[in-house]
Amino acid sequence: MAKLTVEDLDLKGKKVLMRVDFNVPIKDGVIQNDNRIVAALPTIKYVTDRGGKAILFSHLGRIKTEDDKKDLSLRPVAERLSNLLNKPVTFVPVTEGKQLEDAINNMKDGDVLLVENTRFEDVKDGEYVKRESGNDPELGKYWASLGDVFVNDAFGTAHRSHASNVGIASNMPQTAAGFLMEKEIKFLGDAVNNPKRPFVAILGGAKVSDKIGVIDNLLDKADKILIGGGMTYTFYAAKGMTIGNSLVEKDKIDEAKQILDKAGDKLVLPVDSVVATEFSNDAPHKIVEGDIPDGYMALDIGPKTVQEFEDVLKDAKTVVWNGPMGVFEMSNYAKGTLEIGKFLGTLSDATTIVGGGDSTAAVQQLGVADKLTHISTGGGASLEYLEGKELPGIAAISNK
């Protein structure tokens, strides 16, 4: 990789500032899902095994008022992390000042310390000042002054320029990628810049507006783009087809037309849909080909479409998937997403990459996640990567 990684650093005795992604769901002080903490363990262990002092920073949720801080402390995460590492983790309940500095100065080689939620800096004395999310230059400089080197392992925030990623990095002589970040850059980077062909992208989800940038960028790079989900019907409208009560973004119809003209047969739209009279799992539903009849809304791709998509996918060597094929949260409209996910799991010869919160949730919920090559941890970040944008958090990592 062209970027410095944690393996390139001299860690012994160093104060290693680490940006991790501990933005986990917490309800009434109880962690609902610790996947993200588990995912950060390899880099943390690597640092501490080599005698580094691991000083961890993460955000948790969004903080706009003093009140928001009550439920968004990282303290429960420190406890879980300590259990997972099987060693003590010092939790510092502040984000700056003497208490934090003393705690860092008291660390021994191999110790782990977790700083309170970086977004506590977004509200000071009741005022929404956005010091973390606005990348306040003084804050990044201050945090950088607490350590010797910086390891960024939080891909999920790499599309944001915040004090705890870009701010620290720009005040550090060396910033390296952690293992998670390295893996994301490798898989997404290879897919976008150097894919094994045929390269097929599957794009679904609710809105065209979220994916137009991705479609535009991938039209030049992918061999086929398969479209599913709610955004299909804005394309149907652009082709002059009827869409009933299906999801449509009227202000995107013109753009959808331009994409269709540019794409030719590279863009593949569903040929049939599962349609229902209401947005409900219990509503009467049926399969229709082509146009969506009046009084119905399309909520999933149909079986012929699944077959056509599988015909394209069977020869693929690289597949990137972002966005479900239908309303997978409702069992009657989950089949398209399930079938495509299952089929991807059978492509042993291809690199299969899933990005985006909903498609990741879908493959996990459907139990096919472990058959795929790479599940991206960053929804927004992976979309921006696929759009071909430079992500500030990655740009700020030092080159080798």
Give the residue numbers marked as catalytic.
36, 207, 357, 380
Span from 53-61, 166-174, 185-193, 320-328 in contact with ligand AMP (CB under 6 A): 320-328
62 is in an annotated binding site: yes
Instruction: Answer yes or no whether residue 326 interacts with ligand AMP by CB under 6 A.
Output: yes
How far is the CA of 358 from the CAs of 328, 354, 363, 391, in angstroms?
9, 10, 9, 21
The DSSP output letter for 127 is E
The residues pairing with 30 across neighbouring beta strands, listed in sequence order, are 27
- The 224-263 contact track toward ligand AMP, x by CB under 6 A, reads -----xx----------------x----------------
Choose between 246 and 351: whose C-beta lies nearer to ligand AMP. 246
Residue nearest to ligand AMP (CB): 205
Number of shown-chain residues binding ligand AMP (CB under 6 A): 16
Choose between 164 and 246: whose C-beta lies nearer to ligand AMP. 246
Say how far apart CA 287 and CA 303 lie, in whole Å.
Answer: 8
Exactly one of 206, 253, 312, 369 binds ligand AMP (CB under 6 A); which one? 206
> What DSSP letter does each residue of 260-323 carry, written as one string?
HHHHGGGEE--SEEEEESSSSTTS-EEEEESSBPTT-EEEEE-HHHHHHHHHHHTT-SEEEEES
> What's the farthest any 2 CA atoms get from each other in the chain?
70
Choose between 299 and 354: whose C-beta lies nearer to ligand AMP. 299
Instruction: Answer yes or no whether residue 363 interacts with ligand AMP by CB under 6 A.
Output: no
Exactly one of 52, 147, 195, 324 binds ligand AMP (CB under 6 A); which one? 324
Say how far apart CA 237 and CA 230 lie, in whole Å.
Answer: 12
Minimum gap (Å) between residue 155 Cβ and ligand AMP: 18
Say how far apart CA 262 and CA 25 lie, in whole Å.
Answer: 42
Contact 243, 196 (CB under 8 A): no
Say how far apart CA 312 and CA 223 lie, in whole Å.
Answer: 10
Exactly one of 358, 368, 372, 397 binds ligand AMP (CB under 6 A); which one? 358
Which pair of structure tokens corresponds to residue 98?
């003497």
Give me the residue label for tokens 């096919």.
368
Instruction: Answer yes or no whether residue 329 interacts with ligand AMP by CB under 6 A.
Output: yes
Choose between 355 and 393: whose C-beta lies nearer to ligand AMP. 355
Exactly one of 356, 378, 392, 393 binds ligand AMP (CB under 6 A); which one? 356
Sign of CA dihedral 373, 314, 256, 360: negative
Instruction: Answer yes or no whether residue 336 interacts with ligand AMP by CB under 6 A.
Output: no
- The 294-313 contact track toward ligand AMP, x by CB under 6 A, reads ----xx--------------
Exactly one of 327, 338, 386, 397 binds ligand AMP (CB under 6 A); which one? 327
- 221 Cα distance to chain centroid: 21
Q: Which residues bind ligand AMP (CB under 6 A)?
A: 205-207, 210, 229-230, 247, 298-299, 323-324, 326-327, 329, 356, 358
